[in-house]
Amino acid sequence: MAELTFTLKLPFYRLNQTKALEFERLTVVNTQVANDLLCIDKKERKRLTSSAFQHVEIGSAWINQTIRNTNAKTNVKHIARMWLETNNQNFEISKQGDLYTVAFNLLRGRKGRIPLSVHCASHSQVLDKIMQETAKLGSLKLCKSKAGIWYALISVSMEVPDAMSVEHWIGVDRGQNNIAVAALAKSFGKFWKGGRVKGFRRQFQRTRRKLQSAKQLKEVKRLEQRERRIMTHINHVISKQLVQFAQDFGMGLRFEDLSGCRQTMRQNKKTKSDAGNNRDAWAFYQLEMFTRYKAIRLGIPVQSVPAPYTSKSDHRNGVIGKRNRDWFKGFDGYRCNADWNASQNIGQWLGFSCPLDLWRYRATLRYQNAVAAMATVDTEGGVDDSPLTSKTSNAVARAPH
């Protein structure tokens, strides 16, 4: 059994205004404690405990975690906001009726934990395992979203089934025209189009330009954060569907290894200036990470294969062909969708692999065509680029293409 660690994001259920204001006030106090720590020498700071902050009303367990979090930050001169956080010994999860509750105490010197209801969302099975002690609790962090909603971020470690053994793999090709293409071996594929993503990226780019010319830099930053959240949501949705697709057919998932691709992919200035085509804004790694941890929870194996030639080789035999935008053309005239062809290669081939006899066959074709072409030049009485004589035209016609 493997162990997986992840974070549950649970919004508080009907949190009243008094508690929300108290969370906000204590977060400001906690941030001030963190900034006071930054003014102290690093060596002295590491020896400090909550006893040095007895005048602060926040509980000692929360203060100790703030000290650890502040010490973990290097080369930081000011902290804008330090969320309240504590370890697994200072909160508990229970169930009251149909609602799950998180009980904790924020204030120093007070006994008893106050239970607050949370939305379980799709995490009810994990919460049940926590109460059954088959999953281990980590830390608890209280944070607020841009919309003003307070969340309990709970770290959980649990055992997941080992990756099942599979005979076939689903290749996943990632790109910009198609965010992802997942194809069964020598069968149909599932496409996630990228046109809508390109559209909203260009729309955000136009809006940012107007705001920058108006010197509204805060609005520019807000739009960048919103664009990032939208892309994260899209990747979450696609990764969930990819895992479900693999689970339905009992197969594993294979991705191409794109590490370091930003340094190898060439882009001209015109391409980089277009937010829809700029590859630097391509969230390909996030999609793979989201898919991996979702697949691990269900015991679906995930592999990475070398990326070279996956888009240029023919999925039927591995021979190099030609790719023209959305289409791939084999050496024998075979045509198919380029992204579907790449996903077939990712699922079938571990890197570029071409049988030796196919290379010999293709080399023979090239040699015969070359001989036929040379015959046109050496024709008696002929001139370069002149029409073929009957003798040479018959020789070219007999040569296989």
Q: Which residues of 82-121 are buried (b: 16+ CB within 10 A; e: fewer)?
A: bbbbbbbebbbbeeeeeebbbebbbebeeeeeebbbbbbe
pTM over cut 0.85: no
C-alpha distances (whole Å) from 240 to each of 85, 156, 229, 294 are 29, 20, 17, 7
Residue pair 243/288 in contact by the 8 Å Cβ criterion: no
Residue pair 176/198 in contact by the 8 Å Cβ criterion: yes
Confidence of residue 382 (pLDDT cuts 50, 70, 90): very low
pLDDT at residue 45 in the model: 87
pLDDT in tens, 143-185: 999 889 999 999 999 888 888 888 889 999 998 889 999 999 8
Residue pair 104/86 in contact by the 8 Å Cβ criterion: yes
The CATH number that domain 169-192+235-348 falls under is 3.30.420
Residue pair 174/284 in contact by the 8 Å Cβ criterion: yes
pLDDT at residue 150 in the model: 96
Residue pair 278/267 in contact by the 8 Å Cβ criterion: yes
- Out of 75-79, 278-282, 323-327, pick the least confident: 278-282
Q: Tell me how far apart the alpha carbons of residues 105 and 142 are, in angstroms, rounded to a whole number.
A: 12
pLDDT in tens, 89-104: 999 999 988 899 999 9
Q: Tell me how far apart the alpha carbons of residues 358 and 132 are, in angstroms, rounded to a whole number.
A: 59
Report strand pairing: 302-306 vs 84-86.
unpaired
Query: Where in the chain are the domains?
Result: 2-160, 169-192+235-348, 356-398
C-alpha distances (whole Å) from 75 to each of 31, 48, 49, 369 are 17, 19, 21, 66
| 344 Cβ neighbours under 8 A, 6+ residues apart | 171, 183, 185, 186, 189, 315
Q: How many Å separate Cα 136 from the centre of its chain?
A: 26
* Strand order from edge to edge, sheet including 335-337: 322-324, 327-329, 335-337
pLDDT at residue 357 in the model: 46
- Closest Cα to residue 183, out of 13, 349, 339, 366? 339
C-alpha triplet 115, 120, 125: angle, nearest 5° = 110
> What's the average model confidence in pLDDT over 356-379?
40
Helix axes 60-72, 17-38, angle to 10 degrees: 50
In degrees and rounded to multiples of 5, residue 387 shows phi and psi of -60, 150
Residue pair 182/245 in contact by the 8 Å Cβ criterion: yes
How does DSSP classify residue 259?
T
Q: Tell me how far apart the alpha carbons of residues 277 and 198 are, in angstroms, rounded to a whole number.
A: 7
pLDDT at residue 350 in the model: 60
Rg (CA), the chain: 30
pLDDT in tens, 257-310: 888 777 777 778 888 888 888 877 788 889 999 999 899 888 899 998 888 888
pLDDT in tens, 225-254: 999 999 999 999 999 999 999 999 999 999
Residue type, 112: G
> Token pair for residue 252?
């594993």
> What's the average model confidence in pLDDT over 375-397?
36
